[in-house]
Amino acid sequence: MATKGFVIYLLAGFSVAILSVFFVQNFKNGDFEPKLYQSSNLLQRPVGSEDKVWPELEFSWRIVLATVIGFLGSACGTVGGVGGGGIFVPMLTLLLGFDTKSAAAISKCMIMGASASSVWYNLRVPHPCREAPILDYDLALLFQPMLMLGITVGVSLSVVFPYWLITVLIIILFMGTSSRSFFKAIEMWKEETILKKSMKEVPVNSRGELVIDTVYEPLVPKEEKTALEIFKFNLNLKRILVLFVVWFVFLLLQVFKNDLVACSPLYWVLNLIQFPAALAVFGYECVKLYKESKKRRLEGNRESICEADIQWTATNLIFCALCGILGGTVGGLLGSGGGFILGPLLLEIGVIPQVASATATFVMMFSSSLSVVEFYLLKRFPIPYALYLMSVSILAGFWGQCFIRKLIAILKRASIIVFILSGVIFASALTMGVIGIEKSIRMIHNHEFMGFLDFCSSQ
């Protein structure tokens, strides 16, 4: 019920925000001038279309502060499974002085580095509760194609949408997801407290054991796996190959599209091909989950197919598809990896925090690396800066995971991950919101165009 209410909140907020553009645009000086978009982009250039501004990489208090922010943002972002793009982009533009598009490109590099090191760490970690890989490949295959499709949509919308509207949508989305995650973290904390008290008397085997580990001595000693055995068990090369093929198809389409004239017939063909490519993989995984779920229900087996603690019905699958596209769209608008939607969504459908963080980071590694390769081919970021900040993120992603996992093992509270996730999203809402509002006010003072831009002439 709470999930449906949250979805209604998002849809209502987005609808009101988008419809408000029509009124802002058409009511001018008290007169109604019906007009849907501006065909010229001379009055307002789309986000990220400004000239390249690349400061020199030299030692200063700015680079030191950026290193600290980048390290903490990467560590917390990968632990929460959200990446941290909402923190990196403002840091790169305000502190270091990069233009918006270059900042988004370097942000993707940082997310890719942190995600890759986090995945490497998670591959060496066993599942906290049962005999299963800590990376849920079924959920990764379900969400990755839709996430990449959404990123394509988001990049296109960033050209058309006015800057102030993007700011409003970011605030609505981030405040909603951060508050929802925060309340969920509080619920988990309370459940963990009850379970910890009950375990002092007698171990229990309830739904709560998915939240914290139950400590007991088994009748038959469990054989401990070596680090190499855990790594091999977590590594599913067949599923990774499928994910890589999807990644490569989207990369080729994006590279070919960049060399075409906007809105030409071939341009639209390459855009439309992305839909069947994404839907084919998504549909295959949907059919697999639906059939297996139906078979288990008929047999009276209540065990979940994957980590998600839901019934895989047609309604739930459609809901996951929409959320995947929404997460990718936000990633395309912001220069993030789409984890701001995927992380909270995995928790919402019943995935335990450790697996949710590992799976969301795994998916983000593919989506962010796609953008990094594309930005590199377009020469959209300076190599020295990108390598330096990516190195910082790689270290942060690994040690952040290491520290939090050890903290969870000591405190027996996996809700820490959800609190971090909520905090990163809230911090991103503040930084992106403040910057967006300030820039929007400046545009109003300059009497710049505040409506939709024409897609073809704004490319």
Q: For strand 31-32 and strand 27-28, is the pairing parallel, antiparallel, or unpaired?
A: antiparallel
> How many Å from the N-terminal Cα to the C-terminal Cα in the chain?
42
The model's pLDDT over 164-194, given as tens digits with 9 standing for 90+, comes to: 777 777 788 788 888 888 888 888 888 878 8
Say yes or no to pLDDT of 209 above 60. Answer: no
Closest CA to 176 of 402, 3, 358, 362: 3
Considering 112-126, 144-158, 171-185, 260-274, the range whose residues carry the highest mean pLDDT is 112-126
The model's pLDDT over 19-54, given as tens digits with 9 standing for 90+, comes to: 666 565 555 444 545 444 444 433 344 433 456 778
Give the other-Cβ count within 10 Å of 226's Cβ: 8
pLDDT, residue 455, reads: 64
Give the start-to-end residue ranges of the domains of the chain.
30-199+235-453
Considering 191-200, 313-322, 445-454, the range whose residues carry the highest mean pLDDT is 313-322
- Taking residues 312-324, report their average pLDDT: 81
Distance, CA of 30 to CA of 38 (rounded, Å): 19
pLDDT, residue 10, reads: 61
pLDDT, residue 204, reads: 46
**Residue 65 in contact with residue 95, Cβ under 8 Å?**
yes
Say yes or no to pLDDT of 201 above 70. Answer: no
Residues whose CB is less than 8 angstroms from the CB of residue 127 and which lie 6 or more positions away in sequence, other chains included: 133, 134, 354, 355
pLDDT, residue 207, reads: 41
The separation between CA 447 and the C-alpha centre of its own chain, rounded to angstroms, equals: 34
pLDDT, residue 47, reads: 39
- Taking residues 428-446, report their average pLDDT: 79
pLDDT, residue 211, reads: 47
pLDDT, residue 167, reads: 77
- The proportion of the chain whose per-residue pLDDT surpasses 70, expressed as a percent, equals 77
pLDDT, residue 3, reads: 58
The model's pLDDT over 105-136, given as tens digits with 9 standing for 90+, comes to: 888 888 888 888 888 888 888 887 777 788 88
pLDDT, residue 32, reads: 46
Residues whose CB is less than 8 angstroms from the CB of residue 394 and which lie 6 or more positions away in sequence, other chains included: 113, 114, 116, 117
The model's pLDDT over 330-339, given as tens digits with 9 standing for 90+, comes to: 777 765 656 6
The pTM of the whole model exceeds 0.85? no
pLDDT, residue 459, reads: 55
